């Protein structure tokens, strides 16, 4: 039995099509697919509760889950950015940082401001916290349209992210499973015909701090 965790929400149609493709790729392999929140998938794969998953790279970085990255799927291309209001980031007081990415935002804030910042972790989009409830939002930016409508500015890109096919360390020990997953990724790639090449995995220093790129450089 191959236990698979697939993202629900806006990616559900792609997930359902991918599961159908997997069934066609491995007709003799029993499958059990579950449709779950993308942030939960890396941990479930890491713990071996499921064998295989599809999740966003931002959640791999956020969870620090010890999993095997099999292949990028290019279901979306996003940037994890530091956003602020049109007046910029204030000086002379602690910088208020808000994000749904607790680990990512914490590493960024510690590297930039040390103890001169506070952090609030919330669920979902955080753009509406700016500029009165927070000074900086660490947010996922895809097209940037929502950000521009609100008059917000991306001051720094922490990293770029794709969607990845992952598996547990235990599953990766089976060469047959890895070969099956590679074939599955190829089938998905041919069907989806991505319009961009995948990004390189998000860079982390040895201390776990994200290497970032200021906007405009």
Residue-wise pLDDT tens digits, 39-95? 999 999 999 999 999 999 999 999 999 999 999 998 989 999 999 999 999 999 999
Given this model, what pLDDT does residue 203 score? Answer: 47
Which of the pair, 198 or 181, is modelled with greater confidence?
A: 181
pLDDT at 27: 87
pTM to 2 decimal places: 0.84
pLDDT tens for residues 99-153? 999 999 999 999 999 999 999 999 988 999 999 999 999 999 998 899 999 999 9
Same domain for 62 and 6 = yes
pLDDT at 198: 47
For 95-141, where are the alpha helices, taking DSSP H only? 102-113
The pLDDT, as a whole number, for residue 213 is: 47
- Distance (Å, rounded) from C-alpha 120 to C-alpha 59? 18
Within a 10 A sphere around the Cβ of 207, how many other Cβ atoms? 8
CATH of the domain at 138: 3.40.190.10
- Please check whether residues 104 and 133 belong to one and the same domain: yes
> What pLDDT shows up at residue 16?
95
Is the residue at 65 inside a domain?
A: yes
Confidence of residue 193 (pLDDT cuts 50, 70, 90): low
- Whether residue 155 lies inside any domain: the answer is yes
Strand partners of residue 177 = none
pLDDT digits (tens, 9 = 90+) for 202-215: 444 333 344 444 44
Domain of 174 in residue numbering reads as: 2-75+162-192
Same domain? 47 vs 152: no
Q: Are residues 12 and 33 in the same domain?
A: yes
Q: Which of 26, 6, 24, 31 is nearest to 16 (CA)?
A: 6
Mode of pairing for the β-strands spanning 153-161 and 213-214: antiparallel
């Amino acid at each position: 039995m191959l236990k698979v965790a697939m993202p629900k929400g806006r990616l559900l149609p792609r997930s359902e099509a991918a599961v159908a493709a997997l069934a066609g790729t491995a007709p003799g392999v029993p499958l059990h697919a579950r449709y779950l929140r993308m942030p939960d998938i890396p941990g479930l794969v890491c713990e071996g509760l499921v064998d295989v998953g599809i999740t966003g790279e931002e959640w791999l970085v956020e969870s620090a889950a010890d999993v095997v990255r099999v292949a990028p799927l290019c279901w979306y291309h996003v940037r994890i950015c530091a956003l602020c209001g049109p007046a910029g980031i204030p000086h002379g007081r602690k910088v208020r940082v808000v994000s749904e990415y607790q680990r990512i935002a914490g590493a960024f804030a510690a590297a930039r401001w040390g103890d001169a910042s506070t952090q609030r972790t919330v669920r979902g989009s955080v753009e509406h916290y700016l500029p009165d409830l927070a000074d900086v939002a660490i947010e996922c930016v895809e097209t940037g349209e929502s950000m521009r409508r609100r008059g917000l500015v991306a001051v720094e890109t922490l990293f770029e992210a794709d969607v990845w096919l992952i598996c547990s360390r235990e599953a990766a020990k089976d060469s047959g499973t890895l070969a099956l997953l590679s074939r599955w990724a190829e089938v998905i790639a041919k069907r989806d015909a991505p319009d961009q090449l995948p990004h390189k995995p998000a860079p982390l220093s040895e201390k776990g701090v994200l290497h970032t790129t200021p906007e405009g450089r």
